[in-house]
Structure 1
Amino acid sequence: MIGTAPKTNSFGARDFAVVVIMNILWGFNIIAVKMAVTAIAPLTAGFLRQLIVLVVCGSALRIVPGKMRLLTILGILSGGLFYIVVNVSLAVSDNVGALAIAGQLGVPFSLLLAILVFRERIRWPRIAGIALSFGGVVLLVFDPDAAREVPGLMLTAVASFIWAICSLIQRYLIGVPVLTIYAWVGFWGSVTLGTLAWFVEPAAMRTISSLPLSTLGWVAFSAIGSTVIGQGSMSWLLQRHPISVVTPLTLAAPIVSVFAASWYFGTPLTMLMLTGGAVAMLGVAIVTIRTARAGDTP
């Protein structure tokens, strides 16, 4: 969808409402995932999330000639490996707001991969944006409250790199319906996480049928709210408006995540953490906006 030509529709109240809902769903998702991996187990929680995605998008599951190898790789990486790393990072961390900041490294990682794979040429503003993104995350290590989360921060950086690889793969899936893509992500994610969880977390897998509805609600929020509705909203907006208009509007999500996590879990927001977050988000904003503008060039 990202490769479609820019549209000329005016940005109205309905579009703005979709943007607000999308950012809220993505922003609060970090709370849902943390609660899920705490109440269940990281791999089992990921399996349930992907199973729900598969059920919701299952009607769109179909063979796409010439794209099945890419859909399989994307499904295993995006639906499986990515959630293994993300869920484990949240399971071993308390200050998840710091992880929300580190999660933005996916944007500069994506640009770096595009430079290597597509030989894209960039100018100094995006180079500076990449440096600021990494610099802001590095600042977190010097914060005593965030420094305790080094294992989680490192795992989040790995997850961001996997996300960047997945975004690269999706550039080769232009024209494949979004629901079909996520149906395969749900399918391969369920297979990958379900198989691994059965061997690593057998006790958690056996208790799935007895999980309380409140716990399943956290998983459903992530699967339906963040993945299906959130990604679907992004796709809908990109079909109506240029990339340069839509992409910067997603920058509110990590800000919502940081403050929502601090409020819900009662974790501190120190001045150094806020500074690091601001520096990282400035870098991400520069990379996002400049890249989006470049994407609109015929």
Structure 2
Amino acid sequence: MPLRDLLLALLVCLAWAGNFLTSAMALREMPPLLFTSGRLALLALLLFAFLRRPAPGQWPRLLAIALCTGVLHFGLSFWALKLAGDLSSPAIVMQSYIPMSVLLAWAVLGERFAWRTGAAIALSFGGVLVLGFDPLVLDNPASLALMLVSAFFLAVGTVLMRGLSGVDRYGMQAWTAVVGVLPLLALSLWLEPGGLAQVPALSATAWFGIAYAAIVASLLGHGIYFSLVQRHAVAKVMPWLLLTPVFAIGLGIAFWGDRPGPKLLVGGAMTLAGILLIALRSQARARAVPVAEEL
């Protein structure tokens, strides 16, 4: 990619890595489902003008994508982040949605992959297993489990997007926000009693976390990412995005007090190496058989 696009990819990584830190700070003051509903509510207001009726027959797929990504993925990932004692392990484990997407595409869509890609998938999941034995992670095993489930629903949404037509990048974010707000708010009222009563007492840090998640992580980060994949193959962009958990680890060490142990570092390296190999194999296939890339 040209230098300008490489710098844009790094900006996306910084925006997404910063979201782990600012969200974790906001989650000190408010429950995760309420935080997620606040993020989507602000995003819905910002993107309301981009709402467009999907093509005929696309409503079930669109609603399924919005529920998988907006409600289940976001809700569970912020829940996992609140339970975690660090930023490093959630940032790494979230990337497991990539090998999960490959496996789901194989199981559901009949897409095939070579043994090298299979080995890379095994390496990435083996890395998650190794980092799971790090003392920092063992203190909060529920966080690891929730982030894996969150990654699974993101993978489901990613695979479903391949058959969606007539919805652009901002329209998809708008529908995700609009569809997700009320279910998340209802779940928060049910599972987080007293959460709404905390809203008047929220500090500027908490409100900044919500604004950052909606504006910087979603609008800026995802907007630039979609513009990059419009100009380049996804497999060409994906390896650079693996710097997101690396930047998140750096932010965790600098501002959150993270002290990653050897198991977390080795497991994280295995996970990211496996995902990098998957991306490189996808890039090699794209060169061998040129196809139009869609996300």
Q: 2 CA distance for matches of 1:274 and 1:201?
A: 34
Q: 1 CA distance for matches of 2:279 and 2:181?
A: 31
Q: Aligned letter for 1:290?
A: R
Q: Aligned letter for 1:33?
A: S
**Which of the numbers 19, 23, 36 marks the counterpart of 1:29?**
19
Instruction: Name the SS for the 1:62 alignment partner.
Output: coil
Q: 1 CA distance for matches of 2:185 and 2:135?
A: 37
Instruction: Name the SS for the 1:79 alignment partner.
Output: helix
Identity of counterpart residues, as a percentage?
Answer: 27
Q: Which residue of 1 aligns with 2:217?
A: 226
**Which of the numbers 175, 182, 196 marks the counterpart of 1:191?**
182
The farther-off stretch of 252-261 and 237-246 is: 237-246
Q: Which residue of 2 aligns with 1:200?
A: 191
Q: 1 CA distance for matches of 2:112 and 2:160?
A: 19
Q: Aligned letter for 1:44?
A: L
Q: Which residue of 1 aligns with 2:29?
A: 39
Compared CA separation, residues 293 and 49, structure 1 to 2 (3 A): farther
Is residue 2:74 matched to residue 1:74? no
Instruction: Name the SS for the 2:252 alignment partner.
Output: helix
Q: Which residue of 1 aligns with 2:242?
A: 251
Q: Aligned letter for 1:277?
A: G
Compared CA separation, residues 237 and 175, structure 1 to 2 (3 A): farther
Query: Which ranges of structure 2 fall in alignment gaps of 5 or more residues?
Result: none
C-alpha distance after superposition, 1:202-251 (max 9, x if no partner):
42224434533321111111111111211111110111223332222211
Instruction: Name the SS for the 1:38 alignment partner.
Output: coil
**Which of the numbers 96, 100, 104 marks the counterpart of 2:91?**
100
Q: Which residue of 2 aligns with 1:65?
A: 55
Structure 1 residue 293 displacement after superposition? 3.9
The farther-off stretch of 286-295 and 43-52 is: 286-295
- Equivalent pair of 1:137/1:277 in contact (CA under 8 Å): yes
- Equivalent pair of 1:243/1:295 in contact (CA under 8 Å): no
What TM-score comes out, normalization by structure 2 length? 0.92
Q: Which residue of 2 aligns with 1:18?
A: 8
Q: Aligned letter for 1:82?
A: H
Q: Which residue of 2 aligns with 1:263?
A: 254
Which runs of 4 or more aligned residues in structure 1 lie more than 4 Å from their structure 2 counterparts after TM superposition? none
Q: Aligned letter for 1:56?
A: L
The farther-off stretch of 110-119 and 29-38 is: 29-38
What TM-score comes out, normalization by structure 1 length? 0.91
- Equivalent pair of 2:55/2:165 in contact (CA under 8 Å): no
Q: 2 CA distance for matches of 1:243 and 1:58?
A: 27
Structure 1 residue 118 displacement after superposition? 1.4
C-alpha distance after superposition, 1:56-93 (max 9, x if no partner):
11110121122222111111221111122112211222
Q: Aligned letter for 2:4?
A: R
- Equivalent pair of 1:95/1:149 in contact (CA under 8 Å): no
Q: CA RMSD in A?
A: 1.7
- Equivalent pair of 2:26/2:205 in contact (CA under 8 Å): no
Q: 2 CA distance for matches of 1:64 and 1:75?
A: 13
Q: 1 CA distance for matches of 2:267 and 2:282?
A: 22
Is residue 2:139 matched to residue 1:143? no
The farther-off stretch of 192-201 and 73-82 is: 192-201
The farther-off stretch of 261-270 and 52-61 is: 261-270
- Equivalent pair of 1:140/1:147 in contact (CA under 8 Å): no
- Equivalent pair of 1:247/1:292 in contact (CA under 8 Å): no
Instruction: Name the SS for the 2:49 alignment partner.
Output: helix
Q: Which residue of 2 aligns with 1:6?
A: none
Query: Which ranges of structure 1 fall in alignment gaps of 5 or more residues?
Result: 1-10
Compared CA separation, residues 215 and 229, structure 1 to 2 (3 A): same
